[in-house]
Structure 1
């Protein structure tokens, strides 16, 4: 993530409301080199899936429901749950 991306993320959090999921997707896209449309799209390349999982993880950490995250990413809540579990395993956690 570039310093500009980090500054944008800090600004979003400083506004006093949770980051919108679309803003989270845009930040993850900028940090990973994918386009936001690819993250919300149907393609399933390994690096793309990791970026999508990261967006799910951040959105959930910001307090969004599985259904709301799924609506933005065009997936059902069970797919979001699976993405969260994969990202947790990548981070060395259990689940």
Structure 2
């Protein structure tokens, strides 16, 4: 089996097209829950280092290219509900210990 085939994490679905998944594609398109198909962001290719993060206090997502911060992408109040639900689950099962 080819290495790329073993690395697939979803069945037939692209990152950024499902609930609570986010993606920054090399063609400069950003996809995510409640934020679909924004183009015009910088393109990237082989050798670039792409970072993404979520500030759980402000609920603002960011992306970086080679350490350079891109404009914060979005904030998502619905994502806060998902984070709250996860925290509740962690507390219920003591997963944070």
TM-score by length of 2: 0.27
The structure where strand makes up a greater share of residues is 2
More helix by share: 1
Specify the structure having the higher radius of gyration (Cα): 2
Relative contact order (alpha carbons < 8 A, sep ≥ 6): 1 or 2 greater? 1
